[in-house]
Chains A and B, each alone.
Chain A
Amino acid sequence: MHLSNEQIKRYSRQILLPQIGEEGQIKILSAKVCIIGAGGLGSALGYYLSAAGVGKICIVDNDIVELSNLQRQISHNTHRLGELKVLSAKKTFEALNPDINVIPEKVRLCKDNILTLFENYDIICDCSDNFETRFLINDSCIILNKPLITGAVSQFEGQLAVIIPGESPCYRCLFESPPPLEFQASMQESGVIGFLPGVIGSLQAGEVIKLITGAGEILKGELLIYNALKQSFKKLKIPKNPNCTACGNKK
């Protein structure tokens, strides 16, 4: 694969970086990334992956755009109220960069469809909005040996972790089981500041680009916690749980 003159111009600011270069850009253009959730995190993550030239981006969501989404879900807009989020996101990302292919998947992930879907992608990004899906995504990535970049937000705090099956602890090592539905409901009603998924989604994009190109160090084995009110980042080690029901038998 060779970069066209237009591609060299479009991606010049990152090709200039010795950690990326033309070789890294070709890897980015060849990468296949799946994003679960076209909400706040998925909007920011998808925007930056599209801008960077990630060749194939699948976006999975079965919701439609609602007015209360627009305070933070920046891949949608007022004219798209009532549209499927995956189609709205596809329009936004391909308008930014026609060089990429965005695959909209209007499904709710479940154990019957998740493995078939994930098989087609190199990297999985969890931008979902519920624990049931988060645990399902984790367990599926362990089965398929796919790297997982997981982000989550609530109120003024965000969390980020990278799971490399066989090398790092997994999401179930971090949190052993999902909370009850009433806890989840109370969390969803507690609000989120609009820029927060922008911060965490952008950090997820950074981990994806580093994984694709081999630049720098991946945040594996640690949980990054961002506190927007204090403008602070904290990294905590995630111990690998030898009895983990998802990855306990992996190295």
Chain B
Amino acid sequence: MSVIVLIPAVFQNITGYKEKIECSSGSILDIINQLEGAFPGISEKLVEHGNIKKFINIYINDKDIRFLSRQNTVAKDGDIIMIIPAVSEG
């Protein structure tokens, strides 16, 4: 078992246009570190000074981690993690 991370279109150039990435369960920061190991460059898009950037929202099973334990929120086996960046084009 593992967690699934859904990568938004704007960052899929870093993941070789893979949309679903499997990671081991752990805190959101652990999971981002796993992503960075496989796809260098993704961490700096999401994290700044150890915190999730303020224009990026992360949901675990449809729950916004800002209202859980932020980057320390733990994702368990079977959880689905969505990364939602602010987009601005009109």
Name A's B-contacting residues (CB within 8 A). Answer: 37, 39-42, 126-131, 134, 151-159, 174-179, 183-184, 187-188, 190, 192, 197, 223, 225, 227, 229, 234, 236-239, 241
Contacts and interface: CB of A to CB of B under 8 A. Distances in A.
A131 B88 contact: yes
A175 B57 contact: yes
A188 B55 CA distance: 16
Nearest to A171: B86
Contact of B88 (A152, A176, A223, A227): A152
Interface string B74-90: 00000000101111111
Contacts of B62: 236-237
B90 A40 contact: yes
Interface of B: 8-10, 13, 53-55, 57, 59, 62, 64, 66-67, 82, 84-90
A144 to B, nearest CB: 21
Contacts of A129: 88-90
Shortest 7 CB-CB contacts between residues of A and residues of B? A154-B87, A176-B54, A179-B55, A129-B90, A155-B9, A175-B86, A37-B90
A73 to B, nearest CB: 9
A183 B53 CA distance: 12
Contacts of A177: 54-55
13 contacts: A39-B89, A128-B88, A130-B88, A152-B89, A156-B9, A158-B87, A174-B86, A177-B55, A227-B9, A236-B59, A237-B64, A239-B64, A241-B66
Contacts of A152: 86-90
